[in-house]
Amino acid sequence: MAFSRRLETKTVQKMIMLYCNEMHGTEKNELCAECSDLFKYAKQRIDKCYYGDRKPVCSKCKVHCYKPEMRKNIKEVMRFSGPKIFLKSPVLSLRYLYRKRFKSNI
């Protein structure tokens, strides 16, 4: 898997983990069944991205490959975790922001 897709997968995993730990009361580094399913789905979508190794960040993508229900769920996770992720993973956050700003020209 290309670096950009690995980074995207890691970012999504951290965001879902943060959301699940705080909203569903799971232990650190554990996911409930619902959040585990969401992560598996998100990873599958990232792995099969139409753009392959040139994958933009999902928020800048023109192709919406998530099912409507899963898209709603991931948006909720991102809205909750987005502002908090910088404190939990500053390097990962800065890499994401860089990719969002400079690498998403599809």
- pTM reported for the whole predicted model: 0.85
Give the distance, in angstroms, between the CA of residue 57 and the centroid of all CA atoms in the same chain: 9
For residue 103, the model assigns a pLDDT of 66
Query: For residue 106, is pLDDT > 60?
Result: no
Q: Which domain holds residue 35?
A: 3-102
Q: What share of the chain is helix, strand, coil (3-state, %, to 5)?
A: 70, 0, 30
- The Cα 35–Cα 24 span in angstroms is 9
Q: What percent of the chain clears pLDDT 90, i.e. is strictly above it?
A: 49
Total structural domains in the chain? 1
pLDDT band at residue 1 using 50, 70 and 90 as cut-offs: low
- Residues 2-43 have pLDDT tens digits of 777 888 899 899 999 999 999 999 998 899 999 999 999 999
